[in-house]
Structure 1
Amino acid sequence: MAVLAKGIDYFGAEGFPITARRVRTEPGGRPSHRNDVTEIDHYHDFSELVLILRGRGRHLLEGESFPVVAGNVFVVQGNQVHSFRDREDLVVVNVMYDPMRVLLPAGLLRRLPGYSALFLLEPTFRSAHQFSSRLQLDREDLGAAEALVERIESESKQAYPGHEAILLGLLIELMVFLSRRYGESDVRESRALLEMGKLISTLEQRFNEPWTLAEMARFARVSRTNLLRVFRQATGKSPIDYLIGLRIEAAKRLLRQSNRSMTEIGIETGFGDSNYFARQFRLVAGRTPSEFRRSGRT
């Protein structure tokens, strides 16, 4: 039976929810740190970015087994049961973070096609792709990523004043670095994920345009059926609901920061019709645009 690896054991009861743990293949299978569950089937109540620094082994994930070698980088989502086996001089570093407690600039990160592909899509389609869509770093890029991780390890351990801000900045920098590298992949399975990641990135920046499902499918180079399936698996929403959510968030900013009319805001955020804008806003936000504006100014 899989065990739950609890964030409190790695971040501490009052600790900032970003840290890193390095795991080596110790003689006799000794653990590398007090809460090392590397060879035990486990899942988390946090997310984990895994970098294979040295050696080789096998990664067991949700009942399937994949070979891992130096340079492999992948994300393990909290509810995924996994462990490592057959370790040969394997050195792994796990960057742990709680996405529910860390204020990541998700909208900005999703502007990178590689971010959506690596952090949202690849974990979902890993089994279907037989792990071929993972990120593979060359020696130079692996060294650059390891340098960032070493700083995360140091800041987390020393916990000097301001370490929280530095940890957040380092995690974002690492995510952007890895997302850029993933965006350069020429692996067929990775390119397929990047096409969907490119759509998410483009919607983030061009949400006010009159998108249709057919246009989204053409943009991502998939059928409408595949678009609906893959997009929901990646984001938890349909493409249209995701688009409406982006428009509503943009409308909220305008309602807080400007005195523009509802008609102007509806047009600028892509709704066009003020009545349609008001209906959708109430469905998503639970109140009318006028009520939202008043509540933000009292």
Structure 2
Amino acid sequence: MLHLTSEEYVGEHSNIRVVERSPQSDFPEHCHNFSELVLVSSGHGMHVVNGEQALLFPNTIACISSRDYHSFYDNKDVMLLNVMYNKEDLMFSRQAVDVIKKLEIDGAGGIVTEKSFRNVYAIAETIKNEYSLNDPYSKQMQSLLFEQLVLMMGRLYFEKFQHSPVMNALIYLCNNFRDQNVSVTHVCNLFSVTQKSLSSKVSGLTGLSTNKFLNLLRIREAKLLLRRGLSVTEVAHLTGYSDSNYFSAKFKTVTGVSPREHVKFYG
């Protein structure tokens, strides 16, 4: 596993740094001795945190602490800001410290409203600009702005699920795709949205139909489980397929190889 250091990524004379990833390329599993916020502005992909798969969508916010390990893969035009920080060197209010603790416990985070995301993103961009100034005031300005960003994110917990019914349906689909009872019809009925409206949202974000997107989520998860040594039958049932032969056929359609061939290649 790669180990990234604060000296290389945050800087030897700074405790906060914001870097734009345009785009964020696939990146292997790694850890670091600093923490970071990940603010996704566009695209979609996968973010694996401590072995658990999470989806990247626009307006996604995640927090990775110095105790975590993570990777990015299957990224499609993902644009994001990395807000990297050394929390031990920051002098913050009690409220800000409590928010950071909560963020780091929750980890992978989730999707927030577009308005809230824009506000957080704008502060992160200002911190990025202050870092480049490097004048006598820039370091203190970065610290003050970062505390403002953290406190604003504390407020997001009360807004986190104030999405439209279609967006809530999509979030539910992303969180429950492993369930064999989850289907596009089931999700649409659950949130009282039409299949057309959900398909339009999914297609706008991923370029895929809802069914193809659901299948992609399951196959991405299956790849991780196969590499951990689980059998094809076990993986099929854990990723929402009741029949292992059907799972194998879908796996080959998406990846071009069978599950067993995939294991041989990555084993």
Question: Which TM-score tier does this pair reach, normalised by the shorter chain?
Answer: 0.5 to 0.7
Kindly state the Cα deviation for residue 116 of structure 1 after the two structures are TM-superposed. Answer: 6.4
User: In structure 2, what residue type is equivalent to 1:170?
Assistant: L
**Distance (Å, rounded) in 1 between the aligned partners of 2:56 and 2:14:** 30
* 1:140 paired residue number: 115
Shift of 1:121: 3.1
Aligned partner of residue 184 in structure 1, secondary structure: coil
Rounded Cα–Cα distance in structure 2 between residues aligned with 1:153 and 1:161: 16
CA shift digits 1:266-288 (9 cap, x unpaired): xxxxxxxxxxxxxxxxxxxxxxx
Q: Tell me, yes or no, if structure 1 residue 22 matches structure 2 residue 10.
A: no
Are 1:50 and 2:32 an aligned pair?
no
Q: 1:108 aligns with which of 62, 85, 95?
A: 95
RMSD: 2.3
Q: How many angstroms does 1:96 deviate by?
A: 0.5
Task: Provide structure 1 residue ranges, at least 5 long, that are not aligned to the other structure.
Answer: 30-37, 127-133, 188-298
Q: How does 1:26-105 map to 2 (within 5 A)?
A: 39-105=27-93
C-alpha distance 58-137 of structure 1, shift in aligned 2 (>3 A): same
| Equivalent residue, structure 1, for 2:160 | 185
Structure 2: stretches of 5+ with no match in the other structure: 163-267
Equivalent residues of 2:112, 2:159 under 8 A apart = no
Secondary structure at the residue paired with 1:183?
A: coil
For the pair 1:160 / 2:135, whether they are aligned, the reply is yes
Conserved 8 A contact 1:57-1:69: yes
Tell me the distance in 1 between the aligned counterparts of 2:65 and 2:104: 9
CA distance in 2, matches of 1:17, 1:85: 28
Preserved contact between residue 71 and residue 139 of structure 1 (Cα < 8 Å): yes
Identical aligned pairs, as a percentage?
Answer: 22
- Mapped to 1, the partners of 2:150 and 2:84 lie a distance apart of 12
Residue 40 (structure 1) shift = 2.1
> Matches of 1:116 and 1:170 in 2, distance apart?
14
Deviations, residues 180-213 of structure 1 (Å, cap 9, x unaligned): 01133348xxxxxxxxxxxxxxxxxxxxxxxxxx
Normalising to structure 1: TM-score of the pair? Answer: 0.50
Paired residues of 2:113 and 2:160 also in contact (CA < 8 A): no
Q: Name the structure 1 match of 2:126.
A: 151
Deviation, 1:24, is: 2.0
Report the equivalent of 1:171.
146
Corresponding residue number in structure 1 for 2:3 = 4
Q: Secondary structure at the match of 1:92?
A: strand
Name the amino acid aligned to 1:176. Answer: L
Q: How far does the alpha carbon of each residue in 1:150-187 deviate from its partner, in whole angstroms, 9 at most, with x for none?
A: 11111112211111110011100101111101133348
Q: Is 2:108 the partner of 1:121?
A: no
| Structure 1 residue 108, shift from structure 2 partner | 2.7
What is the rounded CA distance, in whole Å, between the counterparts of 1:11 and 1:186 in structure 2?
Answer: 32
User: Given the superposition, is the C-alpha separation of residues 40 and 184 from structure 1 closer, same or farther in structure 2, using an over 3 Å criterion?
Assistant: same
Assess if the C-alpha contact under 8 Å between 1:118 and 1:135 holds in 2. Answer: no
Q: Secondary structure, in 3 states, of the residue corresponding to 2:122? A: helix
Q: Give the Å deviation of 1:117.
A: 7.5
Instruction: Number of aligned residue pairs: give it.
Output: 163
- Structure 1 residues 62 and 120: CA distance shift in structure 2, 3 A: closer
The alignment partner of 1:174 has SS state of: helix
Report if aligned partners of 1:135, 1:182 keep a CA contact under 8 Å in 2: no
SS of the equivalent of 1:40 reads strand
CA positional deviation for 1:49: 0.9
Looking at structure 2, the residues matched to 185 and 59 of structure 1 have their Cα atoms a distance apart, in angstroms, of: 19
Shift of 1:79: 2.3
Name the amino acid aligned to 2:61: V
Q: Could you tell me whether the CA contact under 8 Å between 2:123 and 2:145 is conserved in 1?
A: yes
